[in-house]
Structures are given as C-alpha cells and as structure tokens.
Amino acid sequence: MCNENEARMTNFIQEIIENDIASGRVKEIHTRFPPEPNGYLHIGHAKAICIDFLMAKQNGGICNLRFDDTNPSKEDTEYVDAIMEDIRWLGFDWDDRMFYASNYFDKCYAFAVKLIKDGKAYVEDLSAEEVRAYRGTLTEPGKDSPYRNRSIAENLDLFEKMKDGQFADGQKILRAKIDMASPNFNLRDPAIYRILRANHHRTGDKWCIYPMYDYAHPIGDALEDISHSLCTLEFEDHRPLYDWVLEAIGFENPPHQYEFARLNLTYTLTSKRKLLELVENGVVSGWDDPRMPTLSGLRRLGYTPTAIIDFVKMIGVSKAYSVVDLALLEHCLRDELNKTAKRHMVVLEPLKVVIDNYPDGQEEIFDVNISPLEDKPVNIKRPFSKVIYIEKSDFMENPAHKYFRLKPQGEVRLINAYFITCQEIIKDETGEVIEVHCTYDPQTRGGSTPPDGRKVKGTIHWVSAQHAVDVDVRLYENLFTTPDPNAASEGGDYMDNLNPNSLTHIIAKAEPALLDMQAGENCQFVRMGYFCLDAKDSTVEKPIFNRTVTLKDTWKKINEG
Ligand code: ATP
Ligand code: MG
C-alpha cells in the first residue's frame, strides 16, 4: 500500500483543476504554501505542503512559498529559517519564488486608498468592544457604525494619519464597507487594517499599521498570479471576503480559493500555539524534541520524507472532518524502513550469558550481511566470544506456556552464531537472575541446523560482552496518553494528558559496527525496533540513539485481519 511517492493524487481538487484547464479559466496551475512564521511546521502542515506542491507539480505547474507575516508581534526569523529547512527536507522546491506578505505592504496600502476612494472602506472610531456590540449575533443583523458614512476625504485623511502614527494602537481601524446585515459575519464590515506598534522582522519600524490576513492574503495570491489558493476548511466562511477583496480592487482573472479538511492525528497536537506552550514550559527540550509532531522533531526521531509523503497520499484530500490513526503514519514509516534500514544487534536490557564449553580467550568474527536488500549486501564483522549479553526478556526461569526463548535446559539459536543450551542460573541476593550459564554446540556455527537435524523454536539476538560498546538509547512513547490530547478532564486541558513515560533513557550494549552509522541514519535493532542516530546531541564519545518506532505494526494488524 505504501511507497506511493510516485503515485498521482486523485481528489476533488484535481477534478477542479482539470475542469479549469478544460474550460480555459486557467492556463498554468500556480499554487502557494503560506505559513505564518510564528512556530515550526508540524505534521498537519506537511499535508498542506504536499497538497500545494504536488497538485501543482502533477499538473505541470509551480508552487510559491509565501510567508504570511502580517502579525509582527509573534513572528521571528528563526521560524522563517526552520520552515524553509523543513520544506526542503520534504523534497519540495520553490526555486526563486520565496515571498513575504510584507513584500506587498506598499501595494496593500495603495489598494486600501483605492477602496476608500471608491467608497468601499472607512475609518472606524468605535472601540473594539463597541465594534463587537454593533456586529450583531447569529440571529440578529449588525448595526451600521455612526462612522460608516464619513466622507471619502475625511476617510483618506484619517487613514493617512493612521499610517503616520498619529493615533494610538487600537484607537482606529480601517474597515471594508460590505454588509452589516450579512448572514456571514466575515462580511459585516471586517477590519482590513489595524494600528500596531511592533517591530516587524522584515520591515522594522516602517509601518505602524498592518493589513489583516483576510485582506493581505487574496492580494498576495493575485499579485503572484496564483490560480488555486488551497487552504483548510476554517477559511471556508472567509471565501466570500476573499472574493470581495479581489473584486473590489478589480483584479482580472482572480485566483480562486478551495478548502480541504485539516489533518488531525490521534495522540498528537497540531496547533502551533499549544506546541509553543510545550516548548516554553519545558515539557519538551525544544521544537525539535523527537516527541514533537513538528517536522524537525519527526526528522530527529528518524522519520523520512518518503514515509510522510506516502502517508499524506494515503489519507487523501477531502472536505470531511476526520481524525487519522497515528498507527497509519507509523505503518508508512515501518513500511519504508523495512526496505531500507540496516539490521544491527543491540541489547537494550542486558543479561550476561557465559558459554562454559567455549574456549577461554577465543574469539570468532562472523561476516554478516546487515542489508535488508539481498541484491545490495552490506557486510560487517560481528565478533563472538565466551561471554555474551542477551535481552533480559529473552530468558525466563519459570517459562510461560509456548515460551520458546531461553529457559532452564532449553535450547535456542543465537542469530548468526550457535545453538546454546541453558545449564545453570545465578541469582543475586534479591533472587533476580544475573547470569546464565550455557553450553554451545560447535556443529551449529553460523546458527545452522546441526547434522542430527535438531530444530529449535527460539532465535534471539546477542552481543559479545568483551566487544560491546555502550550507547545511550532514548525510548520514546507518545507525548499524550489520550487519543485526543485535548480531551478535557474536569476543567483540565491537554497538559493533564501528558504521558509521564514519554521518554526513558537507557544504556544499551551494541555490536561495534553500530558506531559506523552516520548522524540521522536509521537502522533496525534486530527484534527491538527502528532507531536513529541522533543528529543533534550524539557525539563520537557518547553516541545517542532515538527509538523511531517499534516493530509492531498495529495498523497492518487491524487492516489485514
Ligand atoms: P496552527 O493552528 O498550528 O497555528 P495555522 O493554520 O495557523 O496552524 P499556518 O502557518 O497559517 O498555520 O498554516 C499554513 C498552511 O498550513 C495553511 O494553509 C493551513 O491551512 C495549513 N495547515 C495548518 N495546519 C494544518 C493541518 N492540521 N492540516 C492541514 N493543513 C494545515
Ligand atoms: Mg494561520
């Protein structure tokens, strides 16, 4: 099912595009991705990015990157840089078409002057509270402001004074003159300019008035010749305003807006504001903490662009509200890593095993292929010796029914090495097994079946104690315990749903070849899961591995019966 990277997206937007081309409304498909640089991109944005870039690409068109920087108080160049890095990482390219809404502040101002001259905008003196009171309700129309019918000359003069800093923040706004009785609130004379003295990350202190998003966005789209302005459903009610702005200014062949449903994912927050709170409250180590659903967090955890794009293609594009199971995202990742990740042996919770009949001081080096691809082998040297480590959970003194791993008098296969049989166990004063003594069968070298044809049911991984290297391993679980992190318990909020076990540090015993990995590279720890060499905190002296995902594919299980 997965690895659909080459597959075309078929959805209602594709139909619209095909109809628009057939009818001649558009000649070239031109989309844009318009992030606000007030936080890092998350998995929800990945959906929008894929739709914007891929719908253009598969129709021979192009996609712009445009930063929506109309709200200077929350924006920052750190976010701009991170957003670009994440989009590039996903594999998308905007060539030289990187823009800012602030590139168009002069034009937005000039268009506002035009609207005033055309009698389509006015300066409002009412306070924010009064404006709200005049706006009416769902069942009652709004009331016209006493300032709605000022003369054009007075409006022009006041708007210029707003721009020149002659009024306090919030003292006046510029409103579009549309319809106070409209059933759509967005058309009840919405604000299009506000006064705000805030240093802007690009325009500095040049402006003390800023255009509202609903006004600047259609203008940016039109100036960039966007044909299809794709956004999420919460903008559906804003579309009449989008169209009004373009028509009132008089753009020819204006862009059209189309909406699709946001991505919601179980156990995952997709709100920048809340993610910022997690960062600011120190719940996580930063925006790129591997538990964060940000693209930088997922990247550090070990996610790949292919897995994310496969996922977006699989969930499809529709207008219906839905919540996607996180297990599907993980499934797409496993599906890819299963084909690409090398297999290393690492023991997470070591139990010492001494092979009594193995000659003291002897070591053997097994040449093994760790590549998942038979036609592209990658061979490493895997040392074996008298003392090894196995996983604590691979030994049971009082085994359950059908326990096929190591048990008293039981025999198992050590992957690529030998059959061993448990002869004796040693416990500490608390009764915990701390050492197991075994014998091996020299006729099973490489893990092969012995001449007598004897079979074993259990196969376990191991690491030679004398050759093992210690590595830091970070075991991650979901950040939230509830499928809906926002599920409110008695007046509480998502902070109450944090998983106290979302991060466990352990020191594992690894085979030496594990250290040949590159930062950010994925591998499988055989039988234990997929792991990634941390690209940020890991050093040569102290290698750190993040558990990307376990091996158990719950999505596949549910969907394949
Ligand atoms: P947040 O609510 O997290 O702050 P936002 O919508 O304000 O998100 P923007 O930077 O404005 O963030 O988003 C850029 C684009 O990404 C918009 O077109 C928006 O519709 C889209 N987008 C944001 N969140 C999601 C999501 N969960 N699923 C799909 N698209 C999304
Ligand atoms: Mg937004």
Q: How confident is the model at residue 556, as a pLDDT?
A: 85
Longest Cα pair distance anywhere in the chain, in angstroms? 104
Q: How confident is the model at residue 520, as a pLDDT?
A: 96
Q: How confident is the model at residue 559, as a pLDDT?
A: 82
Cα separation, 473 vs 346, in Å, equals 10
Cross-strand partners of 532 = 522, 546
Grade residue 557 by pLDDT with cuts at 50, 70 and 90: confident
Per-residue pLDDT of 133-178, as tens digits, reads 999 999 999 999 999 999 999 999 999 999 999 999 999 999 999 9
Residues lining ligand 1, CB < 6 A?
Answer: 34-36, 44-45, 47-48, 231-232, 262-263, 270-273
Burial profile 451-478: b = 16 or more Cβ within 10 angstroms, e = fewer:
eeeeebeebbbbbbbebbeebbbbbbbb
Cα separation, 121 vs 188, in Å, equals 12
How far apart are the CA of 293 and the centre of ligand 1, in A? 13
Task: Name which of 535, 530, 523 is nearest 549 in CA terms.
Answer: 530
How far apart are the CA of 45 and the centre of ligand 1, in A? 6
Q: Confirm if 201 and 80 have CB atoms less than 8 A apart.
A: yes
- For CA atoms 485, 490, 492, 497, the dihedral sign is negative
Grade residue 5 by pLDDT with cuts at 50, 70 and 90: low
**Distance (Å) of CA 368 to CA 195, 378, 445, 455, 556:** 68, 8, 13, 22, 30
Task: Name which of 413, 416, 356, 364 is nearest 387 in CA terms.
Answer: 356
How far apart are the CA of 36 and the centre of ligand 2, in A? 6
**Distance (Å) of CA 100 to CA 71, 201, 219, 245, 437:** 12, 11, 12, 19, 68
Q: Confirm if 341 and 522 have CB atoms less than 8 A apart.
A: yes
Cα separation, 469 vs 454, in Å, equals 34
* Residue in 66, 150, 188, 272 annotated catalytic: 272
Task: Tell which atom from ligand 1 comes closest to the C-alpha of 36.
Answer: 10
Grade residue 36 by pLDDT with cuts at 50, 70 and 90: very high
Q: How confident is the model at residue 245, as a pLDDT?
A: 98
Strand 98-100 and strand 62-67: the pairing is: parallel
Q: Give the mean pLDDT of the chain.
A: 96
Per-residue pLDDT of 187-208, as tens digits, reads 999 999 999 999 999 999 999 9
Catalytic residue check, 197: no
Judged against a pLDDT cut of 70, whether residue 441 lies above it is answered with: yes
Per-residue pLDDT of 226-281, as tens digits, reads 999 999 999 999 999 999 999 999 999 999 999 999 999 999 999 999 999 999 99
3-state helix, strand, coil in the chain (%, to 5): 30, 25, 45
- With the most atoms of ligand 1 within 8 angstroms of its CB, the residue from 45, 64, 80 to mutate is 45
Catalytic residue check, 247: no
Which amino acid, residue 173? I
Q: How confident is the model at residue 293, as a pLDDT?
A: 98
The number of residues in the chain equals: 561
Mean pLDDT over 99-116 rounds to: 98
Per-residue pLDDT of 463-514, as tens digits, reads 999 999 999 999 999 999 999 999 876 667 899 999 999 999 999 999 999 9
Q: How confident is the model at residue 315, as a pLDDT?
A: 96
Judged against a pLDDT cut of 60, whether residue 82 lies above it is answered with: yes
* Residue in 57, 74, 202, 262 annotated catalytic: 262
Phi, psi of 468 (to 5 degrees): -65, 145
Region label for 39, one of left (φ > 0), alpha (ψ between -120 and 50) or beta (otherwise): left
Domains of the chain by range and CATH? 12-260 (3.40.50.620), 346-468 (2.40.240.10)
DSSP sequence for 304-341: -HHHHHHHHHHH---SS---B-HHHHHHHHHHHHHHH-
The SS3 of residue 108 is helix
Catalytic residue check, 36: yes
Q: How confident is the model at residue 80, as a pLDDT?
A: 96
- Residues in Cβ contact with 230 at an 8 Å cutoff, skipping those fewer than 6 apart: 13, 31, 48, 51, 52, 55, 257, 258, 259, 260
CB atoms within 5 A of ion ligand 2 belong to 36
Task: Tell which atom from ligand 1 comes closest to the C-alpha of 49.
Answer: 16
Task: Tell which atom from ligand 1 comes closest to the C-alpha of 264.
Answer: 27
Task: Name which of 240, 141, 146, 144 is nearest 187 in CA terms.
Answer: 240
Per-residue pLDDT of 53-63, as tens digits, reads 999 999 999 99
Cα separation, 206 vs 395, in Å, equals 70
Task: Tell which atom from ligand 1 comes closest to the C-alpha of 35.
Answer: 10
Q: How confident is the model at residue 487, as a pLDDT?
A: 87
Judged against a pLDDT cut of 90, whether residue 561 lies above it is answered with: no
Q: Confirm if 335 and 311 have CB atoms less than 8 A apart.
A: no
Task: Name which of 155, 144, 125 is nearest 182 in CA terms.
Answer: 144
Q: How confident is the model at residue 1, as a pLDDT?
A: 43
Report which bound ligand comes closest to the CA of 265. 1
Task: Name which of 394, 384, 389, 392 is nearest 358 in CA terms.
Answer: 384
Mean pLDDT over 442-467 rounds to: 96
Cα separation, 147 vs 126, in Å, equals 8
Q: Confirm if 353 and 462 have CB atoms less than 8 A apart.
A: yes
Residue nearest to atom 15 of ligand 1 (CA): 35
Judged against a pLDDT cut of 70, whether residue 97 lies above it is answered with: yes
Higher pLDDT, 148 or 5: 148
Looking at 2-16, 111-125, 352-366, which range is the least confident one? Answer: 2-16
Mean pLDDT over 400-425 rounds to: 97
The pTM for the full model equals 0.94
**Distance (Å) of CA 352 to CA 94, 348, 438:** 55, 12, 11
How far apart are the CA of 230 and the centre of ligand 1, in A? 11
Cα separation, 38 vs 74, in Å, equals 5
